[in-house]
Structure 1
């Protein structure tokens, strides 16, 4: 839940009695979590499900205490529940199942995002919200412009809201985008040299990442944009595919998806990725996400190496 954390500890094997495993409930606050952490022994590995912003206090506190933890997706836990054939669930059962999941699969540790990138993501999201709201008010004003009996007070209110939002939009654009014109032009040329990347996708990537200045590796970029690998579990096996994390920048991903449609036809490495995924029986959407992943790796490569893209580079080795 959003206000409480339900904890089950020490489960290491499947048992018909795990539903009766004693659980502990604590408040979902930094103070309460810190007190609980003090009771933990050494070499612990905490497993919990991604719940939007509600799991952030736990992630942050565990990181400060240098305790290993793994965040799994709802689809992962749902698949595991099906494999265990559990029909009656409540918070205690869910906590016990997560403990058992960790023991069975030993998921890779999760690390929280760099603080600068965390703030950058929040500002990007807020800017996107401001722009959406401003557009909504513009649409209302446009509609009212055809009404000869439109209420003047309503129009004045909408115009004031529109002006206020524009001030905030300008403020956040200045805060977020620090590249000068020459830097932007240079980066634009490098990124657009990647086959499949057009004007819109090049600009979107430059603006969203602030020229990739604060990213030390491509995995950070993929996580920031929300193009990350996920695991899906069935009752018999574990399948790993690329999935789109909802925590990323949706509008950038939408533009990248369009770029991937071109890349899978003309970018030789992306063509190979798409064909390989399809040959493995992957769905078209999964293959396209893999192409998006490849595109970002290529873009990051040309930016960090400051070299133009060569379409047949990987095949000429």
Structure 2
């Protein structure tokens, strides 16, 4: 076995990863504060001071979250400008999803295949084996990045409207009787493959482009 040497992410990616960790914690605190506020609101008599402190805490957390989200977007757009522009050229993938893809994958340059990329996020289908008689696709692999998986699933809603390749793919799946959720997950996986292709080729997405290379199913 000859694993590749680990490469330290560039300074901007390191900063974004730290900010992302902090952002996740702030969002957890915000959810806890909202839950606490709701639990007090159902009491027969609520303490005004308690409610005031909780609401102040919520306002402070929301301000910090908004600041961090904008800071992360600014860093991504300025310091990862080329990659950001390339990924966001894919119809259906917006600003936040583009930023999360760059941060969550460290720039995405260490993936050797689209399948590997998809497995990392948790959108690749698993396979069920039982001896030689049972060989079928199972559910998607959920051991990846749940935040990115959720964002890409949401992105698939726009992709089936504005991304010709994804729209045609979705319509073919629906015509074959696939449930809408299953078809949308497949579209999210297709978006991942589009992202991988433009990162690998260092290019921009061209909607409706068909590769001249034959790709095995």
Q: TM-score per shorter chain, which class?
A: 0.5 to 0.7
Q: Is 1:227 aligned with 2:123?
A: yes
Q: CA deviation at 1:212?
A: 1.7
Aligned partner of 1:247 in structure 2 is: 143
Give unpaired runs (5+ residues) of structure 1: 1-65, 67-113
Aligned partner of 1:62 in structure 2 is: none
1:58-137 alignment runs, 5 A limit: 128=24, 131-137=27-33
Q: CA deviation at 1:314?
A: 1.0
Write the deviation string for residues 161-182 of structure 1: whole angstroms up to 9, x where unpaired.
xx9xxx9x9xxx9xx99x6652
Give unpaired runs (5+ residues) of structure 2: 9-16
In the alignment, the residues of structure 1 paired with residue 204 and residue 35 of structure 2 have an alpha-carbon distance, to the nearest angstrom, of 42
In the alignment, the residues of structure 1 paired with residue 178 and residue 76 of structure 2 have an alpha-carbon distance, to the nearest angstrom, of 42
Q: CA deviation at 1:293?
A: 0.9
Write the deviation string for residues 224-279 of structure 1: whole angstroms up to 9, x where unpaired.
211112124699753326x3322222222222112112222332222332233334
Q: Is 1:205 aligned with 2:101?
A: yes
In the alignment, the residues of structure 1 paired with residue 77 and residue 191 of structure 2 have an alpha-carbon distance, to the nearest angstrom, of 24
In the alignment, the residues of structure 1 paired with residue 99 and residue 197 of structure 2 have an alpha-carbon distance, to the nearest angstrom, of 17
Higher helix share: 2
In the alignment, the residues of structure 1 paired with residue 205 and residue 181 of structure 2 have an alpha-carbon distance, to the nearest angstrom, of 25
Q: Is 1:187 aligned with 2:87?
A: no
Distance 1:285 1:125, change over 3 A: farther
In the alignment, the residues of structure 1 paired with residue 46 and residue 176 of structure 2 have an alpha-carbon distance, to the nearest angstrom, of 63
Larger Rg: 1
Conserved in 2, the CA contact under 8 Å of 1:196 and 1:259? yes
Q: CA deviation at 1:289?
A: 1.5
Conserved in 2, the CA contact under 8 Å of 1:302 and 1:308? yes
Q: CA deviation at 1:307?
A: 1.3
1:276-287 alignment runs, 5 A limit: 276-287=172-183
In the alignment, the residues of structure 1 paired with residue 109 and residue 212 of structure 2 have an alpha-carbon distance, to the nearest angstrom, of 30
Q: CA deviation at 1:143?
A: 8.2
Higher strand share: 1
Distance 1:181 1:283, change over 3 A: closer
Q: Is 1:238 aligned with 2:126?
A: no
- Tell me the number of residue pairs that the alignment of Structure 1 and Structure 2 aligns: 193
Distance 1:293 1:204, change over 3 A: same
Q: CA deviation at 1:195?
A: 1.4
In the alignment, the residues of structure 1 paired with residue 37 and residue 81 of structure 2 have an alpha-carbon distance, to the nearest angstrom, of 36
Aligned partner of 1:271 in structure 2 is: 167
Conserved in 1, the CA contact under 8 Å of 2:37 and 2:54? no
Larger RCO: Structure 1 or Structure 2 (Cα < 8 Å, ≥ 6 residues apart)? 2
**Over aligned residue pairs, what C-alpha RMSD do you find?**
4.6
Q: CA deviation at 1:139?
A: 5.7
